[in-house]
Chains A and B, each alone.
Chain A
Amino acid sequence: MYKLKLIIRYLVRRRITHFAVLTVALCVFIVVVVMTVMNGLVEEFKQKNHDFVGDCVVGTKSLVGFPYYEELMQALEATACVEAVSPVVKNYALLRPQYGGDRYVELLGIDPVRHSRVTNFAQTLYYRAADPAKAFVPVYEPNALGCVLGIDLALWRDARSEYTFDATPQRAAFSLTCFPLNARGAPAMAGTTVVSSQQFYYSDNSHSGIARVDDSTVYIPLDQAQSLCMAGERKRITAVHIRFRAGAELYGGCEQVRRLWSQFRQARADAPDGRLLDTVTVESWKEHRRAYIAPMEKEETLMSVMFSLVGITTVFIVFVVFYVIVSHKTKDIGVLKSVGASSASVMGLFSGFAFVVGLLGSVAGIAAGWLFLAYINRIEDWLYSRFGFQLWDRTIYAIGEIPHEVEFHVLAVIAFCAIVACLIGALVPAWGAARLRPVETLHGSRS
Chain B
Amino acid sequence: MGERPVILKAERLHKSYRMGATRVSVLKGVDLAVEQGQFVAVIGASGSGKSTLLHLLGGLDRPNEGTVSFDGQDLNRMRSWELNRFRNEMVGFVFQFYHLLDELDVLENVFLPTMVSRGIVGWLATRKAARERALKLLEQLGLQDRARHKPYQLSGGERQRVAIGRALMNEPRLLLADEPTGNLDSTTGNGILKVLERLHQAGQTIVMVTHDERVARRAQRVITLADGKVKT
Interface residues of A (CB under 8 A from B): 1-2, 4-6, 9-10, 13, 331-332, 334-343, 345, 437-439, 442-447
Question: Can you name 14 extra interface pairs (CB under 8 A) apart from A1-B120, A9-B103, A340-B87?
Answer: A1-B119, A6-B103, A6-B104, A337-B84, A338-B58, A339-B93, A339-B112, A341-B116, A438-B60, A438-B61, A442-B95, A443-B51, A445-B99, A447-B99
Name the B residues within 8 Å of A10 (CB-CB). 103
Interface residues of B (CB under 8 A from A): 51-52, 55, 58, 60-61, 80-81, 84-89, 93, 95, 97-104, 108, 112-113, 115-120, 122-124, 151, 159, 166, 183
Question: Would A2 and B112 count as touching, CB distance under 8 A?
Answer: yes
A2-B116, A335-B99 given; A340·B123 CB < 8 A: no
Chain B residue at smallest Cβ distance from A338: B93
Name the A residues within 8 Å of B118 (CB-CB). 1
The 7 closest A-B pairs by CB, nearest first: A340-B88, A9-B103, A1-B123, A2-B115, A339-B113, A447-B98, A447-B97
A6-B103, A13-B103, A332-B101 given; A337·B60 CB < 8 A: yes
Interface SS majority for chain B: helix
Chain A residue at smallest Cβ distance from B126: A1
Chain A residue at smallest Cβ distance from B95: A442
Chain B min CB distance to A106 (Å): 68
A1→B115 CA distance, assembly (Å):
6
A446→B201 CA distance, assembly (Å):
30
Name the B residues within 8 Å of A6 (CB-CB). 101, 103-104
Question: Would B84 and A437 count as touching, CB distance under 8 A?
Answer: no
Question: Would B80 and A343 count as touching, CB distance under 8 A?
Answer: yes
Q: How many A-B residue pairs have CB under 8 A?
A: 88
CB < 8 Å: which of A9, A342, A445 contacts B80? A342
Question: Would A340 and B116 count as touching, CB distance under 8 A?
Answer: yes
Chain A min CB distance to B21 (Å): 19
Question: Would B103 and A342 count as touching, CB distance under 8 A?
Answer: no
Chain B min CB distance to A332 (Å): 5
Chain A min CB distance to B174 (Å): 13
Chain A min CB distance to B108 (Å): 7
Q: Can you identify 15 A-B contacts, CB atoms within 8 angstroms?
A: A6-B101, A9-B103, A337-B87, A338-B58, A338-B93, A338-B99, A339-B87, A341-B116, A342-B80, A438-B60, A439-B52, A439-B60, A442-B99, A443-B55, A447-B97
CB < 8 Å: which of B97, B116, B123 contacts A336? B116
Chain A min CB distance to B72 (Å): 21
Most buried by B among A9, A10, A335, A444: A335
Name the B residues within 8 Å of A341 (CB-CB). 84, 116
A15→B112 CA distance, assembly (Å):
24
Question: Would A446 and B97 count as touching, CB distance under 8 A?
Answer: yes
Chain B min CB distance to A218 (Å): 72
A13→B104 CA distance, assembly (Å):
11
Question: Would A340 and B103 count as touching, CB distance under 8 A?
Answer: no
Question: Would B61 and A437 count as touching, CB distance under 8 A?
Answer: yes
Chain B min CB distance to A351 (Å): 16
Question: Would B99 and A342 count as touching, CB distance under 8 A?
Answer: no
Question: Would A339 and B88 count as touching, CB distance under 8 A?
Answer: yes
Chain A residue at smallest Cβ distance from B124: A1
Name the A residues within 8 Å of B122 (CB-CB). 1
Name the A residues within 8 Å of B113 (CB-CB). 339-340
Name the B residues within 8 Å of A334 (CB-CB). 99
Question: Would A335 and B101 count as touching, CB distance under 8 A?
Answer: yes
A205→B152 CA distance, assembly (Å):
77
Chain A min CB distance to B88 (Å): 3
Chain A min CB distance to B90 (Å): 9
Name the B residues within 8 Å of A4 (CB-CB). 120
Question: Would B84 and A9 count as touching, CB distance under 8 A?
Answer: no
Name the B residues within 8 Å of A5 (CB-CB). 104, 108, 115
Question: Would A339 and B116 count as touching, CB distance under 8 A?
Answer: yes
A302→B123 CA distance, assembly (Å):
50
Question: Would A340 and B100 count as touching, CB distance under 8 A?
Answer: no
Chain B residue at smallest Cβ distance from A443: B51
A353→B183 CA distance, assembly (Å):
33
Name the A residues within 8 Å of B101 (CB-CB). 6, 332, 335
Most buried by B among A13, A331, A336, A439: A439
Chain B min CB distance to A14 (Å): 8
Question: Would B85 and A340 count as touching, CB distance under 8 A?
Answer: yes
Chain A min CB distance to B47 (Å): 12
A447→B97 CA distance, assembly (Å):
5
Question: Would B116 and A345 count as touching, CB distance under 8 A?
Answer: yes
